[in-house]
Structure 1
Amino acid sequence: MKIVLENQDSTVMSTFTPSARNDGSYQSEAQLEEEFINILQSQGYEYAHIHSEKDLIANLRVQIEKLNDYHFSNDEWERFFKENIANSTDDIVKKTDTIQRDNVKILKKDDGVDKNITIIDKENIHKNIVQVINQYAVNANDNANDNDANGSARSNRYDVTVLVNGLPMVHIE
């Protein structure tokens, strides 16, 4: 392996030779999932035991609080979550814009003072918290707004999901 360029954040190699699998046996989906999670953990991803929407929302709050070094009151979190994260009037374009461009939201604190809340830190990307979860289930009954093109509700279970600051960014099947 010859390294072409290396810095603190990345390495570029001219040739990469993957190590051969010695066992020659079949790898089950569960084994593949576990191996993938282990690889992500070795790269700094934190494994989180999250399997329901309730757990996901609780984790999201914790991660946003860590990122912003701020503790929401329950009323502040409810307002912030409903207005900025799970706004029922936001379509996919608006949600994408929140991640890509409008990543700092304004929280009206209980005392009336405005506070900037960063959802994804684009200035200091290493401050973002990356996590991995597996077997996360979304039940059709949990989210009435999750309808397919025909208007029917869907249930899904994702094998592996990557979270950035508690937000599910990548679902892997």
Structure 2
Amino acid sequence: MTTGPRIEPITPANVEAAMAIRVRPDQEHAVDPVATSLAEAYAHGEVAWPRLIVDGDRPVGFLMAFLDIDWLGNGTRSDVRSGLWRLNIAADEQGRGYGRFAVEAVAAEIRRRGGTTLFTTYHPGEDGPGAFYLRLGFRPTGETSGDQTVAVLDLD
């Protein structure tokens, strides 16, 4: 039996459990619901990497990475990036290390594919997850994506 958290691909057997993941109400403005992420994963299947975070038999969160995207979107692939696209930890499971575990899982996948940096975007401000990402070693790049702060973590 596996102990500790693990990630699982989204399958017909666990898609309902994934969609049932809900963040705290005060966080809903900062992260899209899992159902939206799964629709985006379907539409961007070549670059999306959605996963359910499970501890024992308990679904505790959802993550979605983006892998090798054309960040500038201009077709030149002059700025190819990978990173954490979405992170939803269930409201009653927060503060138990699952967010850190999710970032480490994405970092491991990026390293496995030969990458050396992990990007993320987040809602800025005191009510956003910026402090969480800074504690993990991310640094803001000075860029924004829409209204989100872009940050990077070196994996070397």
User: What TM-score does the superposition give when structure 1 sets the normalisation length?
Assistant: 0.21
Of structures 1 and 2, the one with the larger relative CO (CA 8 A, separation 6+) is 1
Write 1 or 2 for the structure with the bigger share of helix: 1
TM-score by length of 2: 0.22
Structure possessing the higher radius of gyration over alpha carbons: 1
